[in-house]
Chains A and B, each alone.
Chain A
Amino acid sequence: MKIKLSSIMVENQASALAFYTDVLGFKKSKDIPVGEYRWLTVVSPDGYPDVELALEPNANPAAKAFQEAMFKQGIPLAAFEVDEIDAEAKRLKKNGVKFTTDPKQEGPVKFAVFSDTCGNLIQMYQPPRNGS
């Protein structure tokens, strides 16, 4: 059994694709119409090419309620790893991204949290350097 697919719910698949590709730098992988929606996935050019993130519609009222409750409490629903979090945060802010937590060190990890404009808070983290 392999972990090759993760997913996140989004308010609008088209807007999510724009944010996750143009702003975050992921690349579109699958985009297949399925009825009213799309089977839409992205991959990271910096990571393993066959690990996908599905951008799923949150049309289910229960899903939306969960997503909104997490957002209200400031709880991120996904986390992405970066090499240089300060530089990355600066780049994202220049692109209009709004942060709820600026990069800060907590134990071995430095992390930040921002809005993906599709209903989610996203955590970005920089793991400890080798040997530290």
Chain B
Amino acid sequence: MIVVLMIHPELLSRLCHARDRLREWEDSVLSVSEVARTSGFTRFHFIRLFKAIFGETPHQYRSRAQVEKAKHLLILTDLSITDVCMAVGFSSLGSFSALFSRRVGMPPSGFRRRYRRGLGPEPKLPASVIPGCLSLMAGISEKEHFSRSSL
């Protein structure tokens, strides 16, 4: 068993840069192996270390980041679903839609219809999509607050 005793600043920095690279999909999407290699890791070691530090594999992290970015583009822009798909690094509309639906619980078109409606000429992300700090507690009904509290 490989035991990593402590994550030194240099190693932390390399992992953080690798994480940034997983979100680069403008020109071409780097494979996890390529990101590992350019960050100075073997693929096996990179995936294990990434998961230990960030709680999910590089692939899982990238998929989640793609869906998050897609949500923002669907609300804030008029890009077609196909263009949103390509803007987040997918070449297949089918794969993108499937991933989006699986993660969000509704297809990209449905999500846009639900959250973009009536936002006006300069849309911004609604509070339900990006809750402000501590604002979620305002969404609890009084009855729920007192009946569910375990304190």
Would A98 and B140 be within 8 Å (CB), given that A56-B134, A61-B130, A117-B55 are in contact? Answer: no
**Which among A49, A57, A98 is the interface contact of B52 at CB below 8 angstroms?**
A98
Residues in chain B near residue A74, CB distance under 8 A: 9, 12
Residues of chain B within 8 A of A5, CB atoms compared: 134
Residues of B near A119 (CB, < 8 A) are: 54
* A100-B12 in contact given A7-B134, A39-B137, A61-B72 (Cβ < 8 Å): yes
Task: Please determine whether B150 and A34 come into contact, CB atoms closer than 8 angstroms.
Answer: no
User: Could you say which interface size class chain B belongs to?
Assistant: 35 or more
CB of A30 within 8 Å of the partner chain: yes
Cα A49 to Cα B106 with chains together (Å): 39
Residue from A19, A50, A61 with most neighbouring chain B CB atoms (10 Å): A61
Given contacts A72-B13, A72-B16, A100-B9, contact A56 B136 (CB under 8 A): yes
A99 to B6, Cβ gap below 8 A? yes
Binary interface encoding of chain A residues 15-41 relative to chain B, with 1 for a CB under 8 A from any of its CBs, else 0: 100010000000011111011111100
The answer to whether the Cβ of A122 comes within 8 Å of any Cβ in the partner chain is no
Chain B residues with a Cβ under 8 A of chain A: 4-9, 12-13, 16, 19, 49, 52-56, 64, 68, 72, 125, 128-134, 136-137, 139-140, 144-145, 148-151
